[in-house]
Amino acid sequence: MKGKVSLKAVCSALAAAVFSLTLIAPCAAEVTQDDLDDLDRQIREQEEVIAGIEDKTASNQEYLDALQKDLSLAEEKLQRTLDSIGELNDQIGQTEDEIAQQQEKIDSTYAQLAARLRSMYMNSQASPLAMLFSAKDYSTFLMSMELVSRTSAYDSKMIREYKDLIDEQNRQKAELDAQKSALETQRAQEQQEQQDMETKVSRQKELLAQLDADSQEAIAIQQQLEDQMDAYEEQIRQQAASGSHGDGKPSEEESGGETGGETGGESGNTDIEGADFAWPLMDVAYGSGAYISSDYGPRTDPYTGFHKGLDITCGGAQGKRICAARGGTVIVAAYGWNGGYGNYIIIDHGDGLSTLYAHCESLSVSVGEQVSRGQFIANVGNTGNSFGPHCHFEVRINGDHTNPRPYLSAYLG
């Protein structure tokens, strides 16, 4: 629970920060590099919040899967116990029916014996003396006595056998009742275990639902922050158009359009005279060491998604100089993760055209600064979501990326 509270606290704090920025930024005289850095820090913090929620969601989903598996096993176990109780109930019912049948036989035998004795008594033949005087001869008397004796012995034997059978059946029923009692106790325990498991599953689902709500809230806050970054970039463009640096100083007149300017070092033969854009790597020409390691467009493993620019690199690329492809105004010069761009620069060239240079090791220009075509602006690095030193180069029209190849066709052929 502590983790969830802290996540919501961070989300609330960031929401308050976004709200504050939304209110203050439009009223501020100008956007500075500090504003961009602070907003980038908030975006990175929000990315960490989202990553934390995703980790919690993954671990809790794994726990829920395990709980549901255990619940399924508990339900199967309880069903087997209920089936066993049902079978015992059938056996107990059958035994009770058999006992009732034997009892009926005993009752019938008793009734027959009683009827014979009553008849013999009514006919005065129940005593030996009566049998003697009523017999024709002694032989008849003996036969009558033997018949009575045998009948009485047979009835007694049958009654004893029926009683013995009932005793055995009662013993069996007692054993079945004991087994049923044990199973009923087991059933009660298993039902309680199942109920406890269902409660855990329900609570786990509630937790995952809350994490999903937290995730949606965090994503919404991140989107607000990114929208605020877009608003900052637009405001910087407006500041550049009105002639203001990001530091409140008047801007120098843009020198650059097409003629090439200060490079901060010799560019060798990397530039082609008359080309609209300068080659972004000042020290290594395309085809003479520099190459495109990842092209514009869809990518597959190990990378996924749409690649919005060209990855330009060379042997020993770390620290190589990067220049402005065209003259313009620096509208972003930011250090940090920056959504995976790492340290990066955006230059506004006017008429909706801009270029982006990402994953830099270090930056040599600041927001609001006017740069000329071919001017040194940064060094190649491996910052952000990068797997090797290179310059990620983008061309944007009205903020939307487009294929940079046509703009570098003088170099790429």
Q: Cβ–Cβ contacts within 10 Å for residue 230, how many? A: 11
Nearest to 394 by CA among 320, 301, 286, 322: 322
CA 119/CA 87 separation, integer angstroms = 48
Q: What is the pLDDT of residue 108?
A: 77
**CATH code, 253-412:** 2.70.70.10
Q: What is the pLDDT of residue 103?
A: 77
Q: List, for the chain, all residue ranges whose pLDDT scores fall below the cut of 70.
A: 1-29, 31, 33, 110, 113-114, 116-152, 154-155, 159, 162, 237-270, 301-304
In 3-state terms, what secondary structure has residue 244? strand
Tokens of 320: 């190589």
Domain residues of the chain, as ranges?
2-125+153-239, 253-412
Q: What is the pLDDT of residue 247?
A: 38
Q: For strands 391-397 and 376-380, give the pairing.
A: unpaired
Q: Cβ–Cβ contacts within 10 Å for residue 292, how many? A: 17
Q: What is the pLDDT of residue 364?
A: 95
* CATH class (in words) of the domain with range 2-125+153-239: mainly alpha
Is residue 354 within 8 A of residue 331, CB to CB? The reply is yes
Distance of CA 33 to the CA centre of its chain: 38
Residues 6+ apart with CB under 8 A from 360: 322, 342, 343, 344, 345, 378, 379, 380, 381, 383, 391
Q: What is the pLDDT of residue 131?
A: 54
Is residue 281 within 8 A of residue 347, CB to CB? The reply is no
The per-residue pLDDT for range 388-398, each reduced to its tens digit, is 999 999 999 98
Tokens of 62: 């794994």
Distance of CA 347 to the CA centre of its chain: 40
Nearest to 374 by CA among 291, 237, 257: 257
Nearest to 9 by CA among 298, 174, 219, 218: 218
Residue whose token pair is 């913090």? 45
Q: For strands 321-323 and 305-307, give the pairing.
A: unpaired
What sign for the dihedral angle of Cα 213, 216, 220, 222? Answer: positive
Q: What is the pLDDT of residue 353?
A: 93
Is residue 165 within 8 A of residue 137, CB to CB? The reply is no
Q: What is the pLDDT of residue 245?
A: 40
Tokens of 212: 């999903």
Is residue 176 within 8 A of residue 84, CB to CB? The reply is no
The per-residue pLDDT for range 247-304, each reduced to its tens digit, is 333 333 333 333 333 333 333 446 777 788 999 999 899 988 999 998 998 877 566 6
What sign for the dihedral angle of Cα 402, 408, 412, 413? Answer: positive
